[in-house]
Homo-oligomer: A and B are copies of this chain.
Amino acid sequence: MIELDYRSKKPIYEQIIESIKLQILQGYLKPGDAIPSVRGMAKDLGVTPSTVAKAYQEMERQQVIETIRAKGTFIAAQPVTETLPLDREKIRCNLRSELIELKRAKVSKEMVLQMIGEIYDAI
């Protein structure tokens, strides 16, 4: 199941994507597993189908899921392991933004690394 935070500034469709990816990482969802149809998940989550459709389209583009015509949508066989240089750059940039805030708050490198380690393990 997916829990949405409507109060968050993070778009709903991104929350859906993040949640699915997380469940894959954590092993709750495995390659070949079926996930609900766009309409089904929209109903479950109480959002409009187009929001779910947007999330699915984006995940399909990223080869996280696969849609097999008339059969449904499934977790993709093998998650691609390489990130595109462009995405890599985006991640670096976003991380940097957060690290600027932490460094501004005088959080030491050691504290940051510890924190990152914890988050990484908890994923």
Interface residues of A (CB under 8 A from B): 6-7, 10-12, 18, 21-22, 24-25, 66-69, 71, 79, 81-83, 87, 91-92, 94-107, 109, 112-113, 115-117, 119-121, 123
Contacts and interface: CB of A to CB of B under 8 A. Distances in A.
User: What's the dominant secondary structure at chain A's contact region?
Assistant: helix
A95 B95 contact: yes
A103 B68 contact: no
B112 A116 contact: yes
B116 A18 contact: no
Given A81-B105, A95-B95, A100-B25, A113 B117 contact: yes
Nearest to A116: B116
